[in-house]
Chain A
Amino acid sequence: MTIRPPVIEITAAQKMFGSFQALSDICLSIEQGEIVTLLGPSGCGKTTLMRLIAGFETVTAGTVKIDGKDCADQPPERRPVNMVFQRYALFPHLDVFENVAFGLKVKGTPKAEIRERVQRMLHIVQLDSFANRYINELSGGQSQRVALARALVNGPKVLLLDEPLAALDLKIRQHMLVEMKRIHAETGATFVYVTHDQDEAMILSDRVVLMEKGRIVQVDRPEIMYAAPRSLFAAKFLGETNLFEATMASDDASGMTAVIASGLRFHSSVVPAGELRGKVIVSIRPESFRFARDNDTTQSATGQVEDVIFIGSRSFYTICLAGGFRVRVQIQRSTRTSLPKSGEKAEIFWDSENVVILPEA
């Protein structure tokens, strides 16, 4: 077995726009065939990072290697990557076939081969019968597929997608996510996907690159990033969570314990990002709580149910613990156990593997 170099390797990359530092200290390597999402709020530098890979921006410092070669001097047209633009950027003066054929044509591919490859790609994105339509005759979802086909037909080493679903409405967006996974499986290309939507990132990615203020704050598989965020920012950005200000109490082989102002102790078995001492933040997801004690439950607290929101498969409880600490609890619907009602006393239980202790800021 040979070890392949990563298809993209970014080392100590920096990007300045005038005196504004858009990206600092970016190190990232992406393997062949992965779907990697660059996730973060707007202005975090994720689009700039993608444009560095595409060649529309150049690094101020550091290197970007594609397929093992430093591509500092390569203009966008010489890089083995293709991009799906946020608003698709389809050519309005060309029909669907000519749009998809554009890349092959400028490379001087023989006509017969162009025809065959474009038709195969249109088949993959399920637009076989749309070859002669003009762009202004397409719906948003269809435009999206043309944009995908136009990029993928060139057989790129890496497909870059810049918030490709942002302009679509919710229903089409969910459908296109499924399509995107299927197309990824069929083409085997490496996908680098920029989004500010955590759901898209979770559904699609093999790995999520979480960014904040021009820096990468965490790179992990989505389920790990959700279960074990390494910063307060990551805990807040992905999903919903309960956060409590706390003080470190103990740190030993079995895990760490932090105590909140009311004296309630939270024990965590999640390995932290770094050494923790003094003031910390405790994070527990709403779905980590239960109303029933089972074998491995080690921690509990009692409080009063303030509010119940029933939304079918799940219910959301707001429970006020001693000292005025409010906890949001999410419970899956069950017919077997009776659940507390608004105004009643309730005891909640949780496991140490669901408690994440984070540095304060």
Chain B
Amino acid sequence: MILRIVVWSILAFLLMPLVIIVLFSFHASPSLSFPFAGFSLRWYADVLGSAQLGSALVKSLAVAGFTALITLVLGAAASLAWLRLGPGGRALLEVLCLTPIALPGLFVGVSLLVLFAQARVQLSTVTIVISHVVLALPILIVAMRARLALFDPSLEEASRDLGASQMQTFGKVTLPLIAPTLIASAILAFAVSFDEFVVTSFVAGTETTLPMYIWSMMRRTVTPLINAISTLALLFSIAILFMAWLIGHLRRRSAVAGRTVS
């Protein structure tokens, strides 16, 4: 009984801020405090009417899209390598991947900024995408690892045995089988990129992504617009993660089927 109360309290503590933001995004008055003065969609209308916000959103979508695409290609290569590595190599790759995830974003941001300065690369959308790939690729590899472990390497041998070259084997066997995993992971990369703030703020130069735009708005004054934007972003993120889960879940059975004998 006590345990149940504790669990519900923790959940309430975690979810309360989200609930409040969503609630006040529909508030009719600009006040961010109770009593609640009635429902309105006026903040959503303002959000959708803002040109600056629109361009920040487009920028963020473009960055996230390219990040997902590049991470997908690099991730496919990495997963092929992973399938061929021994246990030692896999452990090493894992450590290499976990390091950037564990490092503080602040540190990663500064390092990238210094790197770009050293290499005399102009800060732009390109540097944002590069930085996001650096952040997303390790997450993608770590996420794919569990599913790739279910891949039966004798499927590739069977393909070679039946006369397919290495390239044909990749196209006809390996890629179709790991594609759902890759796509699910790429969607995850999209989500990581879409709401990244800390590293982006170091390498964006004069560019503005959606999280940066929200942050700059907050610096001037806390407007109820923030609530509406945040609610939309929340819905978008949930939709993306649900999509990733769905793709992975629906195709998981077929990926496993090669190993289990009923």
Q: Which residues of A contact B (CB under 8 A)?
A: 54-56, 75-78, 81-83, 85-93, 102-103, 106-107, 134-136, 138-140, 143, 150-151, 154, 167
Contact = CB atoms under 8 A, between A and B. Distances in A.
Contact of A92 (B161, B163, B258): B258
B177 A54 contact: no
B161 A91 contact: no
Contacts of B164: 77, 102, 106
Contacts of B168: 106
B84 interface: no
Contacts of A75: 160
B261 A89 contact: no
Nearest to B164: A106
Contact residues of A: prevailing secondary structure:
mixed
A42 to B, nearest CB: 17
B162 A150 contact: yes
Interface string B143-167: 0000000001011011111111100
B152 A54 contact: no
A154 B162 contact: yes
Given A87-B261, A140-B261, A143-B261, A103 B155 contact: no
Given A85-B154, A89-B155, A136 B254 contact: yes
Contacts of B262: 136, 138-140
B162 A82 contact: yes
A93 B177 contact: yes
B261 A76 contact: no
B254 A77 contact: no
B261 A83 contact: no
26 contacts: A55-B160, A55-B161, A56-B160, A76-B157, A76-B160, A77-B164, A81-B161, A83-B157, A85-B158, A87-B259, A87-B261, A91-B177, A92-B257, A93-B177, A103-B162, A103-B163, A106-B164, A134-B254, A135-B258, A136-B253, A136-B262, A140-B261, A143-B261, A151-B162, A154-B163, A167-B261
A102 B159 CA distance: 8
B160 A91 contact: no
Nearest to B177: A93
A203 B261 CA distance: 25
A89 B163 contact: no
B28 interface: no
B182 to A, nearest CB: 14
- Can you list the 5 inter-chain pairs with the closest CB atoms, starting with the nearest? A103-B162, A136-B257, A89-B158, A89-B154, A92-B257
A92 B160 contact: no
B249 interface: no
A54 B162 CA distance: 11
Given A87-B259, A103-B163, 11 more contacts: A55-B161, A56-B157, A56-B161, A87-B258, A90-B158, A92-B257, A102-B172, A106-B163, A106-B168, A150-B158, A150-B162
Contacts of B154: 85-87, 89
A90 B162 CA distance: 12
A168 to B, nearest CB: 8
A143 B260 CA distance: 11
A90 B258 contact: yes
A77 B163 contact: yes
A46 B257 CA distance: 27
A5 to B, nearest CB: 23
Contact of A91 (B157, B173, B259, B261): B173
B262 to A, nearest CB: 6
Contact of B258 (A91, A150, A154): A91
B203 interface: no
A88 B152 CA distance: 11
B254 A85 contact: no
Nearest to B176: A93
Nearest to B180: A93
Given A77-B164, A106-B163, A136-B262, A91 B158 contact: yes
Contacts of B165: 77, 106
Interface in B211-262: 253-255, 257-259, 261-262
A87 B259 CA distance: 7
B199 to A, nearest CB: 38
A91 B152 CA distance: 10
A266 B160 CA distance: 55
Contacts of A55: 160-161
B161 to A, nearest CB: 5
Contacts of B177: 91-93
B258 to A, nearest CB: 4
